[in-house]
Amino acid sequence: MIESAQAATIVLNGEPHELAGATSALDLVAEVTGRELREDGTPADGGRLGIAVAVNGEVIRRGGWSGFVLTDGHTVDIVTAVQGG
Amino acid sequence: MTWTIDGTDLSSRLVMGTGGASSLSILEDALQASGTELTTVAMRRFDAESRDSVFTMLQRLGIRILPNTAGCYTARDAVLTAQLAREALETNWVKLEVIADEDTLLPDPIELFAAAEELVLDGFTVFAYTNDDPALAKRLEDAGVAAVMPAGAPIGSGLGILNPHNIETIVSRAHVPIILDAGVGTASDAALAMELGCTAVLLASAVTRAHDAQAMARAMALAVESGYLAAGAGRIPKRPLALASSTFDGLVAAR
């Protein structure tokens, strides 16, 4: 059985989320934020992204997003700064 | 006179929070009126509708960002939130906040201390929001936090400084900056914090929920500066009875 050929379902920010095909953390961040990203996770427009990613409760460093392939059952949190404190 | 955290000099002794403002533009006006150089944000799941964010605004204003762990009940969640903040905002500064329950929002000392130890080991510059407990404040300092931030009163209560004696005790024994955090309701509360010897004051609701946030922000900036000057000026001792400021010599008396 070829796992990668199947659609994977992850939990993204608390909600079920279908992945169309092989998806890296980088692909997902780009999709969710609508920003074009470089391979190292920085925005192509040169600005700051202000986003962090945790998978199953562990932080995935920005530089590792492109090499981190999401698979069925992963719990992914994409967080940013909001008003508070 | 500047104060220093982690090798960074700050001129303003007013640290602002960003919670409670009804709009980003009101918040922006208030932050500018406050003259703050350091301002807290919370970390939450990304929401496409909030793309025009407080992060963008603070960068534009040139205000340094202090992420917090607001809303965390356990050391585990607070540590993860701090690590996410470090990654997202590219700073190792964190306001550590671990609350016990949502009615008081008071810090849970056990979880707070555990998280402080872990974050210090992980290289964070920790600003520890804590109870006004001199013993716990000392333990946090010994654990290596960069600043201890005792609550004057519960967050958002506006009750002022309920135990000035404890704040004074914490200050008198500290070798790290003490920042009065939470409970400030109006300008005199902020001035009192500084008169008690605090290095700085952190507040949000008192400004963001004031009828005129911009005016209150300016009032707080002046109060903090005023209290700081008064603290260094050497106040007169309190006396039980009057001490005349006019001489009695040469007094005219009617027959």
d(CA B45, CA A13): 6
For residue A17, which of A80, A76, A61 has the smallest C-alpha distance?
A76
Q: DSSP states of chain B as a string? A: --EEETTEEES--EEE--TT-SSHHHHHHHHHHHT-SEEEEEEEE--GGG-S-HHHHHHHHTPEEEEB-TTB-SHHHHHHHHHHHHHHH---EEEE-BBS-TTT--B-HHHHHHHHHHHHHTT-EEEEEE-S-HHHHHHHHHHT-SEEEE-SSSTT-----S-HHHHHHHHHH-SS-BEEES---SHHHHHHHHHTT-SEEEESHHHHTSTTHHHHHHHHHHHHHHHHHHHHH-PPPP-SS---SS--TT-----
N-to-C CA span, chain B: 56
Q: Do B46 and A51 touch (CB under 8 A)?
A: yes
- Residues of B with CB below 8 A from A53's CB? 87
Distance from CA of B116 to the nearest CA of A (A): 18
pLDDT at A1: 43
CB count in 10 Å sphere of residue A35: 16
Q: Does B85 touch chain A (CB under 8 A)?
A: yes
Residue A47 gets which letter from DSSP?
S
Which regions of chain A are under pLDDT 70? 1-6
The CA-atom distances, in angstroms, between A69 and each of A4, A18, A22, A24, B203 are 10, 14, 7, 4, 42
Report the residue of chain A nearest B19, measured CA to CA: A84
pLDDT at A6: 61
Which residues does residue B3 pair with via DSSP β-bridges, in sequence order?
B10
- Domain positions in chain A: 3-80
- Fold adopted by B3-233: TIM Barrel (3.20.20)
**Of A51, A78, A85, Cβ closest to residue B41:** A85
Q: Do A85 and B89 touch (CB under 8 A)?
A: no
Q: Does B84 touch chain A (CB under 8 A)?
A: yes
φ/ψ of B116, rounded to 5, equals: -60, -45
Report the residue of chain B nearest A63, measured CA to CA: B87
Which residues does residue A58 pair with via DSSP β-bridges, in sequence order?
A55
Q: Do B70 and A85 touch (CB under 8 A)?
A: yes
- Residues of B with CB below 8 A from A80's CB? 43-46, 50, 53, 55, 88
**Is 3.10.20.30 the CATH number for A3-80?**
yes
Q: Do B42 and A85 touch (CB under 8 A)?
A: yes
pTM, whole model, 2 decimals? 0.92
Q: Do A81 and B90 touch (CB under 8 A)?
A: no
Report the residue of chain B nearest A57, measured CA to CA: B80
Report the residue of chain B nearest A52, measured CA to CA: B88
C-alpha A3 chain-centroid distance: 19
The catalytic site residues of B sit at 95
- Which tokens in the block code for residue B168? 């004074």
Q: Do A85 and B48 touch (CB under 8 A)?
A: no
Distance from CA of A58 to the nearest CA of B (A): 7
pLDDT at A20: 86
Per-10-residue mean pLDDT of chain B, 255 residues long, equals 94 96 94 97 87 85 96 96 96 97 94 98 98 98 98 96 98 98 97 98 97 98 98 95 92 87
Count of A-B CB contacts under 8 Å: 105
- Domain positions in chain B: 3-233
Q: Does B169 touch chain A (CB under 8 A)?
A: no
Residue B192 C-beta-side C-alpha neighbours within 13 Å: 17
Interface of A with B in 56-85 (CB under 8 A): 57, 59, 61-62, 77-85
d(CA B99, CA B129): 9
Distance from CA of B43 to the nearest CA of A (A): 5
Distance from CA of A10 to the nearest CA of B (A): 15
